[in-house]
Amino acid sequence: MQKDLRAAFNQQFTEAKYDAYMKQIDGISPGNLDFRNAETPIFIPKAFTQKMLHACEDIIDVIVAPNFKALTERSIPDDVRVPGDEKHPQVMVFDFGICENEKGEYEPQLIEMQGFPTLYGFQLLQNEFTTAYAQVPANYSSYLNGYTKETYTALLKEIIVGDHAPEEVILLEIFPEQQKTRIDFYATQQLLGIQPVCLTNLKADGDLLYYVKSDGEKQYIKRIYNRLIFDDLQQQQNLTNIIDLKKAYNVEWVPHPNWFYRISKFTLPFIDNPYVPETFFLNEITQPVNLNEFVLKPLFSFAGMGVVIDVTQADIDKITDPQNWILQRKVNYAPIILTPDEPAKAEIRLFYFWKDEWARPKAAHNLARLSKGKMIGTRYNKDKTWVGGTIAYFEQ
């Protein structure tokens, strides 16, 4: 987006530099980088950053409103509702596409949001290598609101570990060693000292939870950094002896699992901002709409499955639960990142954190993704280069 920085990066790029950079990235946790790390970061001008932050503040106004929990109560499926104190989500993320409007201007458009963690640890470590590799100017930073590596790390520890000893806190997933994002689990373990634990290893002792360590001792758990997505869990086959998470346990959640559903595609119809695409619950549409202008999305799906880009009336007619689907106005991703062959499209994910003493969450860091396919994601970018995960640097 910053033409001078893009030209300078592309000019100095070599495959040898990229290979050396990737050895550093893989070195964060050797053999555990299971997604493509792109050749380039993204450079974001100050005005574009402010538009994204403005949209986030309008969304947060809805989230902090007294009626938000009542508004989103229907978003939580009964079969995955978890008891316990939800208070507020300690973490949330907002995904913006870099788009082109009808005037030919570049603008952010919200694609999705989650009351759920993302690659908080990996991006911190990746940033150190990318800053040097890309020769990022001093007046650009991957952090927001004045955060630095040191203050961001301290914030992450406050949010995830809290007042507990690290051994009393776990990162919960299903088969963490098999997940594509597992490098983040091990990066988080390095940074905070918390253990990734598989749900199959979690045991209940009354209302207490524990797992058995490698030395055979029980480790009781006081706080769970939740990376478990129930939609993913329900895809698993032949799981036995899993504890019932619908029971109440004496444990703190970061974030509470119900926030995964409250802050999600379900929230989009309630947002009014020029950088948030118009969105409707399918069952609440009373006037005809031009389906060519919308994307059809299920409220409950894993990793973007079920999304229909080129919507037809036949797609609508076969849906038996329209209350669980949304129509979201299409956005026009801008092929703005110049690469050695075709230009790439981009999304930026802003990381927000919410400490107990804060009235509102604050932006702190980011990740970005490049794509040359119809959608962002691995299966749309096979055999392509200059695509995949990366990081954005914001003009200060």
pLDDT at 287: 81
pLDDT at 238: 74
d(CA 70, CA 72): 5
Torsion angle of C-alpha atoms 27, 32, 34, 179, degrees rounded to 10: -150
Residue 171 in domain: yes
Residue 316 in domain: no
**Whether the model pTM is above 0.85:** yes
Residue 153 in domain: yes
Tens digit of each residue's pLDDT, the chain (396 residues): 789 999 999 999 999 999 999 999 999 999 999 999 999 999 999 999 999 999 999 999 999 999 999 999 999 988 889 998 888 999 999 999 999 998 989 999 999 999 999 999 999 999 999 999 999 999 999 999 999 999 999 999 999 999 999 999 999 999 999 999 999 999 999 999 999 999 999 999 999 999 999 999 999 999 999 999 887 787 777 787 789 988 999 999 999 999 999 999 999 999 999 999 999 999 999 888 899 999 999 987 755 578 898 999 999 999 999 999 999 999 999 999 999 999 999 999 999 999 999 999 999 999 999 999 876 766 667 789 999 999 999 999
Q: What is the DSSP letter of 38?
A: P
Residue 300 in domain: no
Residue 29 CA to its chain's centroid (Å): 20
* Euclidean distance between the first and the last CA atom of the chain, given in angstroms as a whole number: 15
Residue 304 in domain: no
pLDDT at 86: 86
* Total number of domains constituting the chain: 1
Residue 315 in domain: no
pLDDT at 376: 74
Residue 312 in domain: no
pLDDT at 113: 94
3-state percent breakdown (helix, strand, coil) of the chain, nearest 5: 30, 25, 45
Residue 125 CA to its chain's centroid (Å): 17
C-beta separation of 386 from 374 below 8 A? no
- Which alpha helices (DSSP H) does the chain contain, by range? 3-12, 15-26, 46-64, 68-71, 120-133, 149-160, 182-192, 230-233, 259-262, 313-317
Residue 325 in domain: no
**Residue 377: both structure tokens together:** 């994601």
Give the SS3 label for residue 143.
Answer: coil
pLDDT at 375: 67
* Residue 228: domain span: 3-277+331-395
Give the SS3 label for residue 360.
Answer: coil
